[in-house]
Amino acid sequence: MERLNALYASALYELTIERDDVNESLEEAVFLKDALKNTDMMRVLKHPQIPRGDKLKLINETFSGKLKDDLFGFLKLALEKNRQGFIVSILETYIGMIEKHKNIVTAKVITATSLDDNQTTELRDTLSKKLNKEIRLDVDIDPSVVAGPYIYVDGYYLDWTFKTRLRELTVHMKEGCTA
């Protein structure tokens, strides 16, 4: 599957670079991925008993005029080659290629409570400055971390959660008691 993702995504990426159309292609790819991911439309596209012609008609009615020829053509080709189950993962790979080209990374952040606008901006700016990249934040709320953030970005992770600190303290106390 990864090889298939890479093949299709690389072809789309090369067309994007060739046409010097990175920004708009990124927006369209994200739009398409979000439109298909976990939706009824994707269930219809994957359904083995719905004829390919009906699926192509649905794609035409839904996305015609909203996507450039390259991305629209990819979508139709994926359906014609019975690759509809891979469309979202191919788009994710393609989006990753464009983001790498544009020096953009996504930071996965887990906190006990939601971040306000100032905290979000400060975190994004700090990470951007440290990594010298444009940062997008993907923030999840997990009350079990109690306090402090867990951040995973560009192969690095920072775990300043109270939950982890408490676990570490418990381990150190047990080690100290048994020594």
Question: Which CATH code, of 3.30.1380, 1.20.120, 3.40.30, 3.30.70, is assigned to 103-178?
Answer: 3.40.30
Q: For residue range 108-160, what is the model confidence (pLDDT) as tens digits?
A: 888 888 888 888 888 889 888 888 888 888 888 888 777 878 788 877 787 77
Q: Helix 22-36 and helix 69-80: axis angle, to 10°? A: 40
Distance CA 6, CA 9 (A): 5
> C-alpha distances in angstroms, 96 versus 17, 60, 90, 143, 178?
14, 26, 10, 30, 48
CATH class of 2-100: mainly alpha
Our CA angle for 146, 150, 156, nearest 5°, is: 165
First to last CA, the chain: 51
Of the pLDDT bands very low, low, confident and very high (cuts 50, 70, 90), residue 169 is confident
Q: In what order do the strands lie in the sheet with 156-159?
A: 134-141, 104-111, 150-153, 156-159
Question: Where exactly are the structural domains of the chain?
Answer: 2-100, 103-178
pLDDT at 1 over 70: no
pLDDT at 178 over 70: no
Characterise 137 by phi-psi region: left (phi > 0), alpha (psi -120 to 50), beta (else).
Answer: beta
Q: State what percent of residues in the chain have pLDDT above 70.
A: 96
**Topology agreement, domain 2-100 and domain 103-178:** no
